[in-house]
A and B are shown apart, each in its own frame.
Chain A
Amino acid sequence: MQYLLMIYSEEGAWNRLPEAVQKEGLAAYTAYGEALRKAGAMVGANRLRDTADATTVSVTNGKTQVMDGPFAESKEQLGGYYLIEAKNLDEAISWAARCPGAAHGKVEVRPVWSM
């Protein structure tokens, strides 16, 4: 099964960290991605830019509405994701627990709708 691991964390917290800690954080993410690849579990991953750069789009009666900002304002926002292949939820949970995002934020695990 495929699962999407979504990392929710406080935006801006990263920029307040000292440079050395940021470096460690990046190294942790690199190692995590490497571990996923090595296990053959990595399907895709990306870090997202802050919601300051987000644009929300909707179409009502054929009219496109474009708004500055994220879909929902909240302190913790989606900051990145990993799309992984896992045998079952327990395996996905153990990958989520190893994700550095679980330590500085929260990781939501969602099964991908299979066709």
Chain B
Amino acid sequence: MEGDAQHTAEAVARRSYGKLVAFLAARTRDVAAAEDALSEAFASALSEWPRTGAPDNPEAWLMTVARRKLIDASRRRKTGAGAEPQLQLIAEELGASETMDIPDQRLALMFACAHPAIEESVRAPLILQVVLGLNAETIASSFLTSPAAMSKRLVRAKEKIRQAGIPFEVPGREDLPTRLSAVLDAIYAAFTEGWTDPAGTDAARRDLTGEVLFLAHLATELMPDEPEALR
């Protein structure tokens, strides 16, 4: 039973991490807070599911718990009156989300990560972290930098998304071709880094190649149906 629940949690983590982050962060643009809330939700899942059994809809369960954590964190952080309308919105959505399908905004999240206002070299690591949930250590080893340095750059980029108001949106027709190539460049960069260990002796790196392929498929799958943009 315990193994089952853990297995379910891990499977959901792999399949849904980016989807949940994208949805949690879409309104506030606060990716770091969404990630924190989600990791707390996964921790709750790992302690509760072995006792109660995995829920029928694990994704919705995680979303509900993560949003409560998000509201708690937001209350703790700012007590000013400015926080109230936002909390109200999150709370209202919380009621609505229990039954609905969570819309997939991962592509919008990728566009935010590969925005031209984000420093180019951090775009690929950022996508790997926020869409796939890879930790800074794994990413750092692939990009041949120290975990501390990588972590600092990722924090800095997320802060920029939030404070500069970088939107979670698929760009309009006019901007789509250039912005899309930034996303694809980032995925390609991640792929190249994933292959820096061609012998496959380093388990973490070998795994990364598979993750990036998943990312590339995901991007293609979610891309708007406009062939001219893909040229």
Residue A59 at the chain B interface, CB threshold 8 Å: no
Q: Which of B163, B165, B166, B167 has the most chain A CB atoms inside 10 A of its CB? A: B165
CB distance from A83 to the nearest CB of B (A): 15
Q: Do A111 and B82 touch across chains, with their CB atoms under 8 A apart?
A: no
Chain B positions within 8 Å of A93 at CB level: 117
Interchain CB contact under 8 A, A89 and B115:
yes
How many Å from the CB of A107 to the closest CB on chain B? 13
Bound: A92/B166 CA distance, A: 10
Closest to B171 in A: A90
A111 to B160, CA, bound (A): 10
A114 cross-chain contacts in B, Cβ below 8 A: 82
A1 in the interface (beta carbon within 8 A) = yes
Contact at B165–A1, with CB atoms within 8 Å?
A: yes
Tell me, yes or no, whether A66 is within 8 Å of chain B by CB. no
Are A89's CB and B82's CB within 8 A? Answer: no
Q: List 19 A-B contacts (CB under 8 A).
A: A3-B165, A86-B165, A87-B167, A88-B165, A88-B166, A88-B167, A89-B115, A89-B164, A89-B167, A90-B166, A90-B167, A90-B169, A90-B171, A90-B175, A92-B165, A93-B117, A111-B163, A111-B164, A115-B82
